Structure 1
Amino acid sequence: MATQHRQQHDQNKNGGLKGTGSVIVIMVPFSLQSHMNQLLQLSCLISSYNVPVHYLGSTFCNSQVRNRVHGGSNPVDQYLSKIHFHDFPIPPYVYEDEDGSDSNSSDNFLPCFHVTEHLRQPFFALLQQLSSKARRVVIIHDVLTSSAVQDARSVANAESYTFNCASAFNIFSHYWEEMGKPSQIGGHEISIPINNLYLPSVLEGLTPESIRKMDHEYQFLGSRSGELYNTSRSIEGNFLGLLSKLTETTISNEKKINIWAMGPLNPVTISSKVSSTGRRDKCLEWLDNQKPNSVMYICFGTTISMTNDQIEQVAVGLEQSGTKFIWVFRDADKGDHCTRARACCRSPSLPQGFEERVEGEGMGMVVRGWAPQPQILGHPSTGGFMSHCGWNSCMESIGMGVPIAAWPMHSDQPRNAILITLLLKVGVSVGDWDQIAKKQLVSSSMISKSVRTLMASDEGDEMRKRAADLGAALRTSTDEGGVSRMEWDSFVKHILRS
């Protein structure tokens, strides 16, 4: 994580920043693992400046995010021990549709919005308690928990900042479309090659109920004092600049909205310790015996549930490609704050004999459960990453210099895939988005072709070189004097101001 770069960066060298002056930070994440993890990493970063941080969430979600960060290789214990976790019991969410169908849609978000709705009261009680003994309370909340913090505007010494878990390109492209795709914004020429790009609709891959819930959250963004992004100017400088111009001229007519690029928040270097027990993971031992850049890593995040028919196509395509692989094979998170019909909770299954065959032949390895993703991506034998293009995974892959076989499923993922494949040019598309959006099968031949392109072609080698260059730039950005380090210092200096 970003905070590991601060371990030799003692307090008298932190950009002239001194004590907190009784400033307290409250973090309010959206209860998806990828969102919670990003705000937990940010919590550790801010805590490294000796600023007290309070992390608010459901009992289950807080436990989950703590356990999973311990599964990594980074020495975060010293930062986690400083964070004040507030665990609140949340009544279970009950799905209304119980047809048992598999889903890659944003239906998986509905229990998370349910958590958000129940955080408003405990958040405000905590805010009132902390504001009575602090000079300033700084609230950093996920865009999708805006309604939970709406009462902060009634507290005189509180100010709120939104945290965006999506790419700057994704956020900018939505605003840009709403403006009618102008060629200039605030006198700033749009010179980046996006005017002729096909941009998937924000509505594709989202259910009507999820869209309604998101629109509800966006209604409470007006009182924010600034915006934070988990990205770096070293990779998205153009889009961050355009967003700044846009906020000056369009989004905010009453006050200037400052933007800070706080990424990368994920690990950019990997230590040898890979678990809280000190044991080396089996999949990493398997990678130790493979050739450099020879293994494809496959993982579709925590919200994706593939049908068994699609799983079979993936399995066949991997075997057809002839490429060695590690496949993290697990169902989407369900959590204990929701309940579904038993049919909806059935587990996916691999084709009969597939796992035994590929492992017996030494071609691949199937990982069930949680995997040490940063360590896998950072291993010299890993040469590609088949991903759903969640922004957390994109940032981890870019940081490790690994190109992506992009297979977006919903939400911000299709536009993240465009950034990866067409703008940064560090990835290849697995399937056609129109096909994926209509929930049509991505064939084994398409999967095999994308894997071979990325792993065994001159085109793939060029992508790997560009990814390596971007990874080096991202890692350098966190060094003393780097663009990301300066953003960290700037934000902390801002919230500690007199």
Structure 2
Amino acid sequence: MAESKQRIVMIPFMAQGHIIPFLALALQLQQRKDYMVTFVNTPLNIQELRSSLPQDSSIHLLEIPFNSSDYGLPPNTGNTDSLPYDLIATFLQSSLALKPVFRKLISDLVHESCCQPPLCIITDMFFSWCAEIAPEFGIFHAIFCGGGGYGFACFSSLWLNLPHRNTDSEEFTLPDFPEASKFHVTQLTELLRKTDGKDSISVFLRNMLVGWYNADRILMNTVEEIDKLGLMYFRKKIGRPVWPIGPALLSARTRARAGKETGIAPEVCKKWLDTKPLNSVLYISFGSQNTVSASNIMQLAMALVASGKNFIWVVRPPFGFDINSEFKAKEWLPEGYEERIKDSGRGLLVQKWAPQVEILSHRSVSAFLSHCGWNSVLEALSCGVAIMGWPQAAEQFYNVKLLEEIGVCVEVGRGKTCEVRHDVLARKIELVMNETEKGIEMRRRVCEVRDMIKKAIKAEEGCKGSSAKAMDEFLNAALLMRKESNKMGTNGEGSNSKQLCPCRDGAGEQ
């Protein structure tokens, strides 16, 4: 039976925030009986993924060669999680070396299956170079952006246009996205603020973003009903369908398997949370690659005491230190803080990793202080948890902007090094978690958004939600291209299917 299934090849960028939504999408696709998934990545990530997959998974994991030492990176660097910030640009550049070996991998797959190419290749947003490979084999190519439409619309416009360099004002608008309203220079990363567009990472990002225009389709890990503006930007800019198929989220069990071995057991968290009243706990985590300054860790610790709220805090070393090293509570927290929190029973300090999905879905959790990476945003919204945003990097600043517009978030800080006083933090915690007008409205609104998401992924025949319909449209477009290629006899190496697909311009599709 397996031979009759259509193969879908997937390759995410080597970073936890990219691999997780790709894995979630792969698990969704495997549930459809007509498809088989081949999941491609570098050896160290494939090793990790083997322990993450459910035992009954039929996903085929395939290694692609990569030796970090060849590119001036530390030995055995598998993904960005283990890298200091100043080596991220080098790591991005090194990923370009995957292009020729990925082409060979596709060629081998075609020949192994008697010249029947995969139905579709789904690549990471950073691997838009696949648009040069897929047509050689008559394969439909989709880019899957694990982020949201609005956040990456802003990110794309900023890097392509550098509008802040054309004004002396600290505020500016985006020339091709005025609907996004004004931006402030503090919503830019330090690299973006300083670039003149000629440095290596700027060139890499511009080439990557321009490459999106050559893909057959774009998939977004978002929901139409909460992200219309960002989706509109890409549809207008690219001129073909952009399908919101999200949220692509891992189950709590799979997420735990994909998490770090060091951390806290889900059972310990649940037992602690079970002792707390309804909507009384603040969960704090800045993700696997982000942290704040030492002074802000101190201020946050003081704010939590002042607010009087229960909390679970995933602590990591401050900015400037190895993020994967041990957290030294005696150096970075007030004297005796860890012991006092433990004795009072009000707080739980967790090093490195916590079972985030299980925490957010617990009835006692009221709010989430987050860096607002999109995976974390979707997990919070899907659980109906209000967000306190402290963006750190990439498109996180614009995710916060969207979430404030929707009415489910309050921004509490901006960037890695901004200084936020404990009294300001305490007031914002109380604003969101107490029975204030703002707090009540945020909780009402986030429950509405949670219900929108549930409706979007509903997949019952005759009553499908927007994300389920978008997934069907994507797969049908890939099948239509295969049908047209077969009709013209152009399957296999050397074909150029993009000339054959009548739906490439998006006619007749939403």
Q: Structure 1-normalised TM-score? A: 0.78
Q: Which of 48, 54, 61 is the equivalent residue of 2:38?
A: 54
| Conservation of the 8 A alpha-carbon contact between 2:374 and 2:396 | yes
The match for 1:225 is 216
Match of residue 444 from structure 1:
422
- Conserved 8 A contact 2:46-2:61: no
Query: What is the CA deviation profile of residues 303-346 of structure 1, one whole-angstrom value per residue up to 9, with x for unaligned ones?
Result: 1143333322221121121111001123599xxxxxxx997875
Give the aligned partner of residue 139 of structure 2. 158
Q: Which has the higher contact order (CA 8 A, sep 6+)?
A: 1
1:125 to 104, 112, 118: 104
C-alpha contact 2:109 2:117 (8 A) present in aligned 1: no
Q: Does 1:23 align with 2:14?
A: no
**2:153 counterpart residue number:** 172
- Paired residues for 1:59-74 under 5 Å: 59-65=43-49, 67=51, 69=52
Cα pair 2:266 2:358 within 8 Å, conserved: no
Q: Which residue matches 2:454?
A: 475
Matched to 1:322, the amino acid is G
| Structure 1 alignment gaps of length 5 or more | 1-17, 71-75, 97-102, 249-256, 334-340
Partners of 2:274 and 2:285 lie apart in 1 by 19
* Aligned partner (choices 234, 251, 262) of residue 225 of structure 2: 234
Residue 329, structure 1, aligned to residue 315, structure 2: yes
Q: Is 2:375 the partner of 1:384? A: no
Q: Which one-letter code corresponds to 2:60 in the other structure?
A: I
Contact 1:389/1:407 (<8 A) preserved: yes
CA distance in 2: counterparts of 1:84 and 1:104, whole angstroms: 24
Report the equivalent of 2:437: 458
SS of residue matched to 2:143: strand
Equivalents in 2 of 1:412, 1:182: separation in Å? Answer: 15
CA pair 77-488 structure 1, distance change in 2 beyond 3 A: farther
Distance 2:128 2:470 in 1: 23
Per-residue deviation at 1:271? Answer: 8.0
The aligned runs of 1:188-203 (5 Å cut-off) are 194-196=180-182, 198=184
Aligned pair 1:373/2:356, yes or no?
A: yes
Deviates further, 26-35 or 108-117: 108-117
Report what 1:6 is aligned to: none
Q: 1:424 aligned to 377, 397, 406, which one?
A: 406
Provide the C-alpha distance between the structure 1 equivalents of 2:91 and 2:387, rounded to a whole number of angstroms: 28
In 2, are the aligned partners of 1:425 and 1:463 still within 8 Å (CA)? Answer: yes
**Structure 1 letter corresponding to 2:103:** F
Q: Counterparts of 2:106 and 2:318 in 1: how far apart (Å)? A: 33
| 129-138 or 159-168, larger mean C-alpha shift | 129-138
- 2: CA distance, partners of 1:104 / 1:271: 27
Task: Report the Cα offset of residue 202 of structure 1.
Answer: 5.1
Instruction: Pick closer, same or farther for the CA change 1:305–1:202 going to 2, 3 Å.
Output: closer
Q: Could you tell me how far 1:362 is from its partner in structure 2?
A: 0.8
Question: Matched residues in 2 for 1:348 and 1:273: separation?
Answer: 23
State the secondary structure of the residue aligned to 1:243: helix
Q: Please, which moves more after superposition, 118-127 or 215-224?
A: 215-224
In the other structure, the counterpart of 2:499 is none
Q: Give the direction of change, closer, same or farther, for the CA distance of 1:298–1:46 in structure 2 (3 Å limit).
A: same
Residue 11 of structure 1 corresponds to which residue in structure 2?
none
Contact kept, 8 Å, 2:39 with 2:62, in 1: the verdict is: yes
Q: Closer, same or farther in 2 for the Cα pair 1:473/1:130, shift >3 Å?
A: same
More helix by share: 2
CA offsets 1:384-439 (integer angstroms, 9 cap, x no match): 00000101111111111111110001110100111112x111011112x3xx36x2
Could you tell me which residue of structure 2 aligns to residue 356 of structure 1? 339
Aligned mates of 1:246, 1:214 — CA distance in 2: 17
Report if the CA contact (8 A) 2:291-2:323 is conserved: no
Partner SS state of residue 228, structure 1:
strand
* 8 Å Cα contact 1:43-1:83 kept in structure 2: no
1:85 aligns with 2:67: no
Judging changes above 3 Å, is the alpha-carbon distance between structure 1 residues 321 and 358 closer, same or farther for their aligned structure 2 residues? same
The alpha carbon displacement at 1:462 in A equals 1.1
The residue identity in structure 2 corresponding to 1:61 is N
- CA shift, 1:87, in A, is 5.4
Give 3-state SS (helix, strand or coil) of 1:281's partner. Answer: helix
Report the Cα distance in structure 2 between the residues aligned to 1:152 and 1:136, rounded to whole angstroms. Answer: 13
Residue 204 of structure 2 corresponds to: 213
TM-score if structure 2 supplies the norm length?
0.76
Q: How does 1:199-348 map to 2 (within 5 A)?
A: 204=190, 206=192, 210-248=201-239, 257-266=240-249, 280-330=266-316, 347-348=326-327
Partner residue in 1 for 2:79: none
Aligned residue in 2 for 1:14? none
Matched residues, percent identical? 24
Alpha-carbon distance in structure 1 between the residues aligned to 2:134 and 2:154: 29
Matches of 1:375 and 1:343, distance apart in 2: 27
Tell me which amino acid in the other structure corresponds to 2:126: L
Distance 2:364 2:455 in 1: 23
Hey, what's the Cα distance between the residues in 2 that align with 1:387 and 1:82?
A: 32
